[in-house]
Amino acid sequence: MFRARTILSALVLVILAQAFQATVANAQSPPLWDRKAEGIIVRPIPGGGGTRFTIQPMFRVSAQPTSIPLDLSTLVEININGTTVDVLEFTIKTDPTGAAGCNTPCHEMGQVCVCLEGVICSCGTILVCDPPINASLVQGDEITVILRPAPDARPEISEGNDKRTLVWNGRPTVWERRVASIEKKPSATIRGGTDVQVAVGVIVNHDGVLNLDTELELRVNGRPAASGNADVDEYTWSSCAIVCKTSACGASGDSPSVNCQIDPEVGADTCWCNGNSVGTYVFKGVKHAPGDEITVILKPAPGSLPDLPRPVETKPAVKFRRGDANGDGTVNMADGVFTLSYRFSGTEAPACFDAADANDDGDVNIGDPIFLFGWLFLGGKAPPAPGPMRCGEDPTEDRLPEGEYEECGLTN
């Protein structure tokens, strides 16, 4: 059973994509339009235990110039293993009058201005559905996105690109820019200067089109010195997303400069679509002295996608008993002696510094055994939360190193 809902603010990213290579229809020809599924984003839900994920379809709506207003409102259906789990509705209409302010550049690209909800307008817009839908997935599940005309909207003319299927390969959707290489040569144009050639690469796990145009900023000793742009737009990564589902790398993608490779930053057992030189830029005549530090910073160009980096795996918080410095599961005199020996005799360090921090002051020192003995023998205050009698997480922030406490059945 699915639920239909209208997305009034369903745009995460709007990308001024390159126009299709269609010619402009003449005044006597009927208007042409297209709805195209461009990709599927799958990301883990924090705390989802590796089984809960978000799914966001990416699609494009475009039309050739026409004086006839077109209602291209679109239903986006998401299926998992053949079962419909959600249907999203987008109100999309063309603006032949140019009131939205984007008609002239659209006509130059052979398209008409297309507006989402009458607010966000562009040419050949790529939409990323938001909010995403949540779903449980296991490796091998088949995710399918189907585009259909909304009720009373224009029917689709070209139906061959309205559907996209992704077999979940167990890895999240990722695209990241990287400085693949920096090469310095004496400048032929400026005396005493240096030409700096920067190769821009990307690491990708995605099944569709991406616009990753990149701005480059060159800094000398941390201060901006020059800027430029590398074109990394409109690559299609479908082949890599399919082949890279195993560690058998080396297959070419849709671009000759993009290959499926093992990424050492991810791990030898993981294969990603890795383009080590998909865009280049040469900074001419960069002036610097011997020993100066040259740094290149990458950021998305206007209208292109921001990076979607690999999710950071967060470790579960360690649970412990406050005051149990020796980690034997019981808080007693032996724990104070253990801390004194560690501090003044150079013996073994606590496996869990938070547990040894009996007074919870953010440090393990002589104050902890004194505090602990005061509670054990003089009726003083008990060690703060989670306390000495039960397992729990540290409710206060400190700079103590991460450790482990096996008596509570969880390590960190």
Q: Whole-model pTM above 0.75?
A: no
Q: Which of 344, 313, 339, 314 is nearest to 326 (CA)?
A: 339
Residue with tokens 């990323």: 128
Tens digit of each residue's pLDDT (9 = 90 or more) over 319-339: 999 999 999 999 999 999 999
Tens digit of each residue's pLDDT (9 = 90 or more) over 330-369: 999 999 999 999 888 888 889 999 999 999 998 999 999 9
- Percent of the chain whose pLDDT exceeds 70: 79
Q: End-to-end distance of the chain based on CA atoms, in angstroms?
A: 41
> Around Cβ 188, how many Cβ atoms within 10 Å?
10
The pLDDT assigned to 159 comes to 74
For residues 212 and 303, what is the distance between their CA atoms, to the nearest angstrom?
9
The pLDDT assigned to 137 comes to 93
Reply yes or no on whether the pLDDT at 3 is more than 60.
Answer: no
Residues in Cβ contact with 364 at an 8 Å cutoff, skipping those fewer than 6 apart: 325, 339, 342, 343, 350, 353, 356, 357, 400
The pLDDT assigned to 149 comes to 95
The pLDDT assigned to 15 comes to 30
Burial 108-138 (b: 16+ CB within 10 A, else e): ebbbbbbbbbeebbbbbbbbbbeebbebebe
Residue with tokens 């292109």: 304
Which residues make up the CATH 2.60.40 domain(s) of the chain?
A: 174-300
For residues 384 and 172, what is the distance between their CA atoms, to the nearest angstrom?
40
What's the longest Cα–Cα distance across the chain? 98
Q: Between 2.60.40, 1.10.600, 3.30.499, 1.10.3470, what CATH number should domain 174-300 receive?
A: 2.60.40
The pLDDT assigned to 117 comes to 80
Tens digit of each residue's pLDDT (9 = 90 or more) over 116-138: 887 777 776 678 888 899 999 99
Q: Which of 135, 88, 96 is nearest to 112 (CA)?
A: 96
Reply yes or no on whether the pLDDT at 4 is more than 50.
Answer: no
Q: At what angle do helices 333-345 and 367-377 cross, to 10 degrees?
A: 160
Residue with tokens 């501090």: 343
Q: Which amino acid is at 261?
A: Q
Q: Which of 86, 88, 117 is nearest to 100 (CA)?
A: 117
Output the average pLDDT for the chain.
Answer: 80
3-state secondary structure 152-179: CCCCCCCCCCCEEEEECCCCCCEEEEEE
- The answer to whether the CB of 308 falls within 8 A of the CB of 211 is no
Q: What is the mean pLDDT of residues 361-379?
A: 93
E strand or H helix at 87: strand 83-90
Pull the structure tokens for residue 357.
């921090």
What is the distance of C-alpha 364 from the center of its chain?
Answer: 38
Q: What is the mean pLDDT of residues 154-181?
A: 86
For residues 116 and 131, what is the distance between their CA atoms, to the nearest angstrom?
15
- The answer to whether the CB of 16 falls within 8 A of the CB of 122 is yes
Q: What is the mean pLDDT of residues 279-293?
A: 87
E strand or H helix at 369: helix 367-377
Residues in Cβ contact with 339 at an 8 Å cutoff, skipping those fewer than 6 apart: 325, 350, 356, 358, 364, 368, 369, 372
Tens digit of each residue's pLDDT (9 = 90 or more) over 203-235: 888 878 888 889 999 999 999 999 999 887 777
Higher-pLDDT residue of 255 and 110 is 110
Residue 411 — very low, low, confident or very high, per pLDDT cuts 50/70/90?
A: very low
Q: Helix or strand or coil: residue 6?
A: strand
